């Protein structure tokens, strides 16, 4: 793009420009240092090793897909993608995963990362971070469940702390408004496109009745069923949640529960979003055009989802003295 001479005259000096560029990089030290081939010389087989473990786990249980992808999301949104979510509580420390507002992360995700890390350690000790193993396992779980395959950047370090008190306010809630959801994503450097694309992770996995029963008349005395909910689907959900209680689990995408596909968006068009935050993507006129576009095209969905997962993987990444490489993902070295 050519600029007129007058604007060139008004442009900042190279020194100021360099300072601005440096400031931008310092503000987000992550993105510049992550690399797809980060372990090419230090652990050349890391991708094959992780993929083998994820494949085994998926054959063992269908819960591997959803639990692993959700674990990655929760890791990245609390203290950055630094494996802090994998740390177990100790008598002196209530860890992130045991935050009091129960996030109900499923065991299978933790187990997948534990097994993958053990296999990687056997081949390349003290080399690959747990944060990167989780990122790789997530990428593989997505591809193996019919989603896109894409290169994932590596080079994250594992965080040095994990506290339950760091969780509140960091994660989105199913009953939030669009403005609130957008604000939570923006606080992590992600925008409306990312919110719409990443929400398609709810095309796989399960949710507890307690996370959506407030949308059903049966459990809201005096209040109608959420009018954005398809009535037939509402009756179905009531039958799946006989007491509205916290223990029952419901498939998030009834039409293709194990496929990570754009059926998620077609469900929304039909009033079939399970969580309030899902259906909101279709009822809010800011995000509805994106839902319609992604519902229509598998290619557009693949690209949007892969790009957004890569951006999610850059959130709050740690380098240098702010992290290390854990030997075991659930305890600090
Ligand atoms: C947009 C805001 C979001 C909200 C409000 C939200 C909320 C929830 C809730 C309440 C559940 C059910 C948990 C349970 O009852 O056990 C769930 C499940 C899940 N979420 Fe989200 N989520 C959001 C975004 C995301 C994103 C961005 C991802 C990943 C990229 C994700 C991945 C998942 C997966 C895979 C499951 C199924 C977990 C399983 O099967 O164990 N979610 N989410
Ligand atoms: C947290 O979730 C677990 C597993 O679903 C459940 O056993 C436990 O009772 C929950 N705790 C709270 C405080 O809700
Ligand atoms: C969402 O639910 C939580 C807990 O169930 C409640 O504390 C909060 O006020 C609700 N938020 C909105 C926006 O309704
Ligand atoms: C969100 O950010 C991505 C990447 O920078 C960009 O391509 C996209 O247009 C943005 N979307 C919105 C709605 O601003
Ligand atoms: C969405 O609807 C509101 C209220 O009807 C309107 O003011 C706004 O301009 C609309 N925005 C878009 C992006 O269509
Ligand atoms: C979706 O596809 C249909 C049929 O191919 C087309 O008529 C419509 O314009 C498309 N909508 C969007 C938002 O791309």
Question: Ligand 5: does its nearest atom lie under 6 Å from the Cβ of 289?
Answer: no
pLDDT digits (tens, 9 = 90+) for 48-67: 999 999 999 999 999 999 99
Dist. CA 168 → ligand 3 center (Å): 12
The answer on pLDDT for 16 being more than 60 is: no
Q: Average of pLDDT values for 254-265?
A: 97
178-183: long-range contacts, CB 8 A cutoff, minimum separation 24: 178/280, 178/284, 178/286, 178/287, 181/277, 181/280
**pLDDT at position 30, please?**
43
The answer on pLDDT for 322 being more than 80 is: yes
Q: What is the rounded average pLDDT for all residues in the chain?
A: 91
Dist. CA 280 → ligand 2 center (Å): 27
Q: What angle do CA 217, 241, 74 make, to 5 degrees?
A: 100
Q: Average of pLDDT values for 24-31?
A: 45
Q: Where in the chain is the domain with CATH 1.10.420.10?
A: 178-311
Is 132 annotated among the ligand-binding residues? no
- Fold topology of 32-171+313-323: Peroxidase; domain 1 (1.10.520)
The residue from 57, 70, 74, 318 that is catalytic is 74
23 band by pLDDT with thresholds 50, 70 and 90: very low
CA distances, 175 to each of 65, 193, 226, 289 (Å): 24, 20, 11, 22
Dist. CA 254 → ligand 3 center (Å): 26
Nearest by Cα to 85 from 94, 75, 77, 76 = 75
Residue 188 annotated among the catalytic residues of the structure: no
CATH tag, 178-311: 1.10.420.10
Atom of ligand 2 nearest to the CA of 104: 2
High-pLDDT (> 70) share of the chain, % = 89
Question: Measured on CA atoms in the order 108, 113, 119, 121, is the torsion positive or negative?
Answer: negative
Alpha-carbon distance of 202 to 260, in angstroms, equals: 8
**pLDDT at position 101, please?**
66
111 band by pLDDT with thresholds 50, 70 and 90: very high
Is 75 annotated among the ligand-binding residues? yes
Q: Which residue from 101, 184, 202, 277 has its CB within 8 A of the most atoms of ligand 1, so it is best to mutate?
A: 202
Is 253 annotated among the ligand-binding residues? yes
Is 208 annotated among the ligand-binding residues? no
**By the 8 A CB rule, do 197 and 295 touch?**
no
Selected residue with higher pLDDT from 174 and 7: 174
Nearest by Cα to 147 from 255, 305, 333 = 305
Look up residue 193 and give its two tokens. Answer: 């496109």
Dist. CA 70 → ligand 1 center (Å): 6
CA distances, 295 to each of 42, 201, 227 (Å): 41, 14, 22
pLDDT digits (tens, 9 = 90+) for 151-203: 999 999 999 999 999 999 999 999 999 999 999 999 999 999 999 999 999 99
The answer on pLDDT for 4 being more than 50 is: no
Alpha-carbon distance of 228 to 77, in angstroms, equals: 28
Q: Where in the chain is the domain with CATH 1.10.520.10?
A: 32-171+313-323
102 band by pLDDT with thresholds 50, 70 and 90: low
Q: Average of pLDDT values for 104-112?
A: 95
CA distances, 233 to each of 228, 229, 238 (Å): 11, 7, 9
**pLDDT at position 223, please?**
79
The answer on pLDDT for 220 being more than 80 is: no
| pTM for the structure as a whole | 0.90
The answer on pLDDT for 10 being more than 50 is: no
């Amino acid at each position: 793009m050519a600029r007129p001479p007058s604007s060139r005259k008004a442009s900042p000096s190279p020194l100021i420009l360099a300072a601005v560029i440096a400031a931008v990089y310092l503000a987000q030290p992550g993105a510049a240092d992550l690399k797809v081939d980060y372990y090419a010389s230090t652990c050349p087989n890391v991708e094959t090793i992780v993929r083998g473990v994820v494949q085994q786990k998926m054959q063992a249980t269908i819960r591997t897909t959803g639990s692993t992808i959700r674990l990655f999301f929760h890791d990245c949104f609390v203290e950055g993608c630094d494996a802090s979510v994998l740390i177990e509580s100790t008598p002196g420390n209530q860890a992130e995963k045991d935050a009091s507002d129960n996030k109900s992360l499923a065991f299978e995700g933790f187990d997948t990362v534990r097994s993958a890390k053990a296999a990687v350690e056997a081949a390349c000790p003290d080399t690959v971070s747990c944060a990167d193993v989780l990122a790789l396992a997530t990428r593989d779980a997505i591809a193996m469940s019919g989603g896109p395959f894409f290169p994932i950047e590596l080079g994250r370090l594992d965080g040095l702390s994990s506290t339950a008190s760091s969780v509140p306010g960091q994660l989105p809630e199913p009953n939030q408004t669009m403005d609130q959801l957008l604000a939570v994503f923006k606080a992590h450097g992600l925008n409306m496109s990312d919110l719409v694309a990443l929400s398609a992770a709810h095309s796989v996995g399960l949710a507890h009745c307690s996370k959506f029963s407030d949308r059903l008349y049966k459990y809201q005395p005096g209040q109608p069923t959420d009018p954005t909910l398809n009535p037939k689907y509402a009756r179905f959900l009531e039958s799946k949640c006989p007491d509205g209680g916290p223990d029952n689990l419901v498939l998030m995408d009834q039409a293709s529960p194990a496929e990570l596909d754009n059926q998620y968006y077609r469900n929304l068009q039909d009033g079939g979003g399970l969580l309030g935050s899902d259906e909101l993507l279709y009822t809010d006129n800011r995000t509805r055009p994106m839902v319609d576009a992604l519902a229509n095209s598998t290619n557009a969905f693949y690209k949007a989802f892969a790009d957004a997962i890569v951006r999610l993987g850059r959130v709050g990444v740690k380098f240098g003295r702010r992290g290390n490489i854990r030997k075991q993902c659930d305890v600090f070295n």
